[in-house]
Structure 1
Amino acid sequence: MTDPSQLVDLYLRLSVDRDGKDSLDRQEKDLRAWAKAEGLTVRSVWSDAGKSGYQKGVVRENFDNAILAITKGEVRTLAVWKLDRLSRRGAGQVGLVLDKIEDADGRLVFYKDNLDSTVQNSRLLIIMVSEQARAESANTSLRVSAKIASDAAKGLPAKGLRPFGWESGRATLTPEKADELGWTLSDDEKAHGAVYVPVRESEAGVIRDAYRRVLDGTASMWGLAREWTEAGYATAVTGTERVDRTRPTEKKKVPGVWVASTVRQTLIRPRNAGILVAKGVEMPVSRIEPIVTREEWESLTAYLANLKTSQPQKPGPKATYLLSGIIECACGERCYGSVSYSQRKGGPRNVYYFYMCRNRLSDPDNKHTSIKVDIANGRVMDDLVLQLLKGTLRAPDADALSTKLAALNAELADNAEASDLATEIIFDPKRKNLHKKADARLKVLETERAALVAQRDTLAAQRAEGGALGELLDQAQAGKIEPTYAGAMEWAQRFADVFREFPMEKKRDMIKALYRPRIKRGGRGADRIELNPTELITGAQPHS
């Protein structure tokens, strides 16, 4: 076994993952060269790409792992490329790290700062440098926030993902264009020039047409969603990568699929009428080119609000397929129940029920999967019975669920803060070289937020499912069950019978909470189903 004193771990971090002089690759290369010169063997490389060292509440798992390895005595030295890569939280966080490493008789080295915690009187220098890094971040945040507020006062929205209907950048606002839009240029704009956010006419025309048809009563949100998807119009996140819900270590590209809620949100945006809203307040000046008039926007928002309140929609048909909208295609999108027919000349008509990917028509370039309904349902049912016999099927713990949900909501708040920080970078004129990367970072945060929302929805489903599963188990366990093989099989059969008669919505709540099923490419029958069990919050081990 290698002596821990001969080993070194490396810690790398970059808030905005980019190529350059302090990229992750450069950090690792420099630190490996340093370790070799010191006669140390690199044991592990801990990396937190795209994680802020300044924002409160940001969870850096590999930062924690790197410190833990030192305190557990697995390695004696931790090397960091520069102190602000370890933390920008100042003396508070850095001081705690120094205490932990000193208590473990460890060593913390900052390569670029030429600082070593084992050198006499180095602690004061490390604390001073850490406070300088914290102050730099705080000043940048204040400076960029002021820039955002200044732009809002000029009528310019914050940068981010390109909204449907507008170009991604800004254009020079000429006096002729201002007259065309009915805008009056300020003295400052006349003296120093002005910019505005121009529409993308190919998409603006689609929005105007949707306004006309919705107000005429000839189009619905779902109908527009289907039309826009089939026409190939991109949503704000189309083509971006997001974390796979069932494979957190993998990413997938977001397809250009519109749904009713996305269409609705697109149509009721104030910016459609050229209205700029900052911090919930309408700004007196806007340099967003309008797509529709203010009167049209107010009419449409009032019409949709009236549909939702005064004239509530009839509830849609109840689900008839156990896994519809729950089971996923190999591409990562959801599959829904579908019916297929076949008939030979003169023969009987055959009916087949399948779960099919919703993107099979809008995304024909990729191979999508489908499976017979009875095969998929049977696979889930078999696993439920197996977990019952193993004793791992139990109702969730309500208190533990509430605690976990609170933690996820905190992570979502941190994600929002990180998005704000990336936006601030975009508006910082002194960091123009980072604007493109910060924009890419916003897209990454969007995918991370989608993954967090999926986890939150799973927990919410478990909370809803708790009562349903508890009720189901109570019914299945009614009567005395002998602790024998025959008794267990009797219990399993009773469970299957009760489950079959249980209300469909309750059964679907349970499936959502317990599994993230997916149809694999290749294979035969039930072997094509990956169940991907969720971690059921019961206080016990998750089922496997």
Structure 2
Amino acid sequence: MHQKTICDLYLRLSLDRDGKTAIERQEADCRAWAERNGLTVRKVHMDRGRSGYKTVERKGFDAALAAVAAGVVGTLIVWKLDRLSRKGIGQVGKVLDDIEKAGGRLVSVLDRLDTSNDSTRVAVAMLAELARSESKNLGARVGHAKRYLRSKGQWIGGQPPYGLLVDTKTKKLTHDPECAVYARLIADEALAGTSLVKIARLLNEHDIPSPRGGQWNAASIMQLLRSPAFAGLMPETETVETDDGERKYTGRVFPYRDPETLEMVGIGEGIITVGERERIIRTLESRTFVHAGKRRPKPAGTALLTGLVYCAVPGCGRRMHCVGGSYQCMARRAGNQCVGASALAGTVDRYVTEQFLTKLPSLEPDDPLLAAIADRWVRRADPETFAKRDALTGEIQDQEARLADLEDARYVRGEFSGTSAVERYARLSERLKGRIEGLRTELRKLPVPSVDVSPMLDGVTLREAWTDTTDEARRERLSLAMDRVEVSKGARGQRIVPEQRIRIHWAGDAVQA
């Protein structure tokens, strides 16, 4: 078979820290195993800083599984089974099923497991559950260590707030000589009642970089001012228990209190005092809509173009949200340096809606836009099948490019001269052609989902369906046909002319208006 001697590697590291070489060691061990067993490594899939226990997106994992499940490669190699997953046999079992259906195999180098051996599945199941149990126990140990450090008033890890550093000896916070003065400036402005947006603009105008090197915005200022550590207090992040028994961080941080005395615990120097922090928080909360002791709930519905409309000001390109009846550039509202586009939401919605309802019925059956709509529709309906099809199609294109380059080397660049060289060319060429044909065979085996888009070509039917549905469903249909809607900045006081300020990028850039 064309894929039996080809393998992919999957590598994962929960904590990605500078200077650490763990993931490089994983790759070296996996490559050595592949070489000893006569396998050629096609691609290395990698997830840095991604947990195998928590429910998080792992693009490397998804791509690796799609490749072996589609038959692009015959073997998926992992350094250790817990690198693949720590969610137990529930996830690992599905992975084994998908690989087995494709006639592939999973190899764990350190565990010395190879699923081509029928008896291996039992061992895999045991190790998968062991990895899950270890993750739970690790969480308990980490929690115990954090409680101990908190009791000693020592920093438990992570990046301290802007303007502060962790003393390597005492493990307590101290002022950062480079940016503590700017942190104090932020605090003074907040205490003076300056809005968060204006503070962010002040910092950006004077080219004072944020902790991550980019521009400041209102959200980052808010997070900094509310941080207990900014006032020299030990922070603690709230957690809740999920339906599957896991602990999940909510993102809400509050001062840690000693479980015996219930007193807040100090963590070293702060930029502000505890009293100043209370004043700042009261000011921030006074600007928040409150009803019956709770923040005002979000409106039941969201704007029609949420997630689709963007600011067209050069150099910005940020999303726009509906605020007070208008789509407004969120970069401008957050304090970033953008002049900020703004337009009445009703006007933009009506224009985009009419363009959608008018354009689709006018399309010919072979129009590229219609093909793009159909493709997006079926991809949403059956994402697993299309992940396999994409993996196979991408590999076919790569192999065809290699074959074309090989032929250029033979017939254009003249790199194969002499009897032995020509024979070597013939072997390489046949191998690539066999690989390509094998991949095409696997691709033909996969089902080709289809949808009936004819109702979208009937103007009356389309308008009736549009009228009878919700904004959420309308937004879903718009996203099938459009990549984005861009709104440029208009002159103050002038009525918006949609044709001049609104630009629709249709699916796949097939057509633009």
Q: TM-score, normalised by structure 1?
A: 0.49
d(CA) in 2 for partners of 1:268 and 1:370? 27
Pick from 350, 356, 360: which aligns with 1:390?
360
**1:327 matches 2:311:** yes
**One-letter amino acid of the counterpart of residue 5, structure 1:** K
d(CA) in 2 for partners of 1:119 and 1:266? 55
Distance 1:62 1:532, change over 3 A: farther
Pick from 141, 145, 148: which aligns with 1:147?
145
**One-letter amino acid of the counterpart of residue 164, structure 1:** Y
Helix, strand or coil at the partner of 2:285 = helix
Pick from 92, 105, 117: which aligns with 1:94?
92
Q: Tell me the CA shift for residue 286 of structure 1.
A: 0.9
Match of 1:432 in 2: none
Match of 1:296 in 2: 276
Q: Tell me the CA shift for residue 88 of structure 1.
A: 2.6
Pick from 222, 225, 235: which aligns with 1:267?
225
**1:23 matches 2:23:** yes
Pick from 195, 215, 219: which aligns with 1:256?
215
CA contact (8 A) 2:229 2:267 kept: no
Distance 1:330 1:37, change over 3 A: farther
CA contact (8 A) 1:333 1:358 kept: no
d(CA) in 1 for partners of 2:356 and 2:20? 53
**1:286 matches 2:266:** yes
Q: Tell me the CA shift for residue 118 of structure 1.
A: 2.5
CA contact (8 A) 2:173 2:270 kept: no
CA contact (8 A) 1:515 1:533 kept: yes
Pick from 187, 202, 219: which aligns with 1:227?
202
Match of 2:173 in 1: 197
What's the CA shift string for 1:27-53, capped at 9, x where partnerless? 445544544443444455443333322
**One-letter amino acid of the counterpart of residue 385, structure 1:** Q
Match of 2:416 in 1: none
Match of 1:8 in 2: 7
CA contact (8 A) 1:12 1:85 kept: yes
Q: Tell me the CA shift for residue 529 of structure 1.
A: 10
Helix, strand or coil at the partner of 1:257 = coil
Q: Tell me the CA shift for residue 197 of structure 1.
A: 0.6
d(CA) in 2 for partners of 1:161 and 1:69? 37
**One-letter amino acid of the counterpart of residue 198, structure 1:** T
Distance 1:384 1:153, change over 3 A: farther
Helix, strand or coil at the partner of 2:310 = coil
Match of 1:108 in 2: 106
d(CA) in 1 for partners of 2:478 and 2:459? 25
Structure-to-structure mapping, 1:458-537, within 5 angstroms = 516=484
Q: Tell me the CA shift for residue 86 of structure 1.
A: 1.8
d(CA) in 2 for partners of 1:161 and 1:534? 41
Structure-to-structure mapping, 1:76-475, within 5 angstroms = 76-102=74-100, 104-119=102-117, 121-167=119-165, 169-170=166-167, 172=169, 194-200=170-176, 203-208=179-184, 215=191, 219-236=194-211, 238-239=212-213, 255-259=214-218, 261-278=219-236, 279=238, 280=254, 282-283=256-257, 284=263, 285-308=265-288, 326-328=310-312, 331=315, 334=318, 385=355, 388-391=358-361
d(CA) in 2 for partners of 1:481 and 1:227? 52
d(CA) in 1 for partners of 2:85 and 2:105? 17
**One-letter amino acid of the counterpart of residue 10, structure 1:** L
Distance 1:35 1:332, change over 3 A: farther
**One-letter amino acid of the counterpart of residue 85, structure 2:** S
d(CA) in 2 for partners of 1:68 and 1:512? 25
CA contact (8 A) 1:335 1:358 kept: no
d(CA) in 2 for partners of 1:214 and 1:31? 54
Distance 1:53 1:290, change over 3 A: closer
What's the CA shift string for 1:471-501, capped at 9, x where partnerless? xxxxxxxxx9899xxxx9xx9xxxxxxxxxx
Match of 1:476 in 2: none
Helix, strand or coil at the partner of 2:175 = coil
Aligned-CA RMSD value: 5.6
d(CA) in 1 for partners of 2:57 and 2:113? 26
List gaps (5 residues or longer) in structure 1. 173-193, 240-254, 311-322, 337-354, 394-403, 405-479, 492-507, 521-525, 536-542
d(CA) in 2 for partners of 1:77 and 1:133? 22
Q: Percent identity?
A: 32
Helix, strand or coil at the partner of 2:278 = helix
Q: Tell me the CA shift for residue 114 of structure 1.
A: 2.6
d(CA) in 2 for partners of 1:309 and 1:362? 24
d(CA) in 2 for partners of 1:518 and 1:289? 47
Helix, strand or coil at the partner of 1:198 = strand
d(CA) in 2 for partners of 1:266 and 1:36? 51
Helix, strand or coil at the partner of 2:201 = helix
d(CA) in 2 for partners of 1:51 and 1:216? 41
Q: Tell me the CA shift for residue 226 of structure 1.
A: 2.1
Distance 1:531 1:81, change over 3 A: farther
CA contact (8 A) 1:330 1:369 kept: no
Helix, strand or coil at the partner of 1:109 = strand
**One-letter amino acid of the counterpart of residue 360, structure 2:** K
d(CA) in 2 for partners of 1:97 and 1:482? 46
CA contact (8 A) 2:191 2:276 kept: no
Q: Tell me the CA shift for residue 214 of structure 1.
A: 5.1
Distance 1:282 1:48, change over 3 A: closer
Distance 1:97 1:221, change over 3 A: closer
Helix, strand or coil at the partner of 1:5 = coil
Distance 1:126 1:64, change over 3 A: same
Helix, strand or coil at the partner of 1:94 = helix
Distance 1:534 1:164, change over 3 A: farther
CA contact (8 A) 1:275 1:286 kept: yes
CA contact (8 A) 2:161 2:229 kept: no
CA contact (8 A) 1:171 1:198 kept: no
How many pairs does the alignment contain? 354
Helix, strand or coil at the partner of 1:326 = strand
CA contact (8 A) 2:68 2:99 kept: yes
CA contact (8 A) 1:15 1:53 kept: yes
Match of 2:440 in 1: none
CA contact (8 A) 2:356 2:478 kept: no
Helix, strand or coil at the partner of 1:88 = coil
d(CA) in 2 for partners of 1:197 and 1:163? 9
CA contact (8 A) 1:230 1:362 kept: no
Helix, strand or coil at the partner of 1:23 = helix
List gaps (5 residues or longer) in structure 2. 239-253, 258-262, 291-306, 321-328, 364-368, 370-379, 381-457, 464-474, 489-498
Distance 1:36 1:151, change over 3 A: closer
